[in-house]
Amino acid sequence: MNLSNLKPAKGSIRKSKRIGRGQGSGRGGTSTKGHKGHQSRSGYSRKTGFEGGQMPLQRRVPKFGFSNINRKEYKAINISTLQSLADSKKLTSIDVNTFIDAGLIAKKDLVKILGNGTLTSRLDVKAHAFSKSAREAIEKLQGTATII
């Protein structure tokens, strides 16, 4: 086998429909577009969501709910994750940059520390928010929980 005798697998390539090449071709006349109407005209492109004149789905279904522009979205990180980070990297203080370096959050994310898991080493943690149980667990081991 070499470049001169390469060809696609049998049946994988289909010839394109030759449209509008006379009545004898079977695809002449209206060129498979039917008679009259928008879709038969040149330059026609269907709008997204268009359902042939039927009331489109996004207009049939009522609007509901709202988005609170003041909402703060936090990335949750558990105490068990803090402990595993401290064990693997031999850390005593953890801040947002530590989470970014570990790939747990993106640069713009806000971090909230949650109290799931157990903490065995003393840590100084800096984050945007702490749950009550997380703060207690950190301070029980003489660590500090600082809000940025």
Q: pLDDT by residue for the chain (148 residues), tens digit each?
A: 899 999 999 999 999 999 999 999 999 999 999 999 888 999 999 899 999 889 999 999 999 999 999 999 999 999 999 999 888 888 888 989 989 998 999 999 999 999 998 888 888 999 999 999 999 999 998 889 899 8
Topology at the third CATH level for domain 77-147: Ribosomal Protein L15; Chain: K; domain 2 (3.100.10)
Count of all residues that appear for the chain in the document? 148
Q: What does each C-alpha distance from 111 to 4, 5, 20, 75, 100 come to in angstroms?
A: 60, 60, 62, 5, 11
Question: What's the CA gap between 57 and 44, in Å, rounded?
Answer: 22
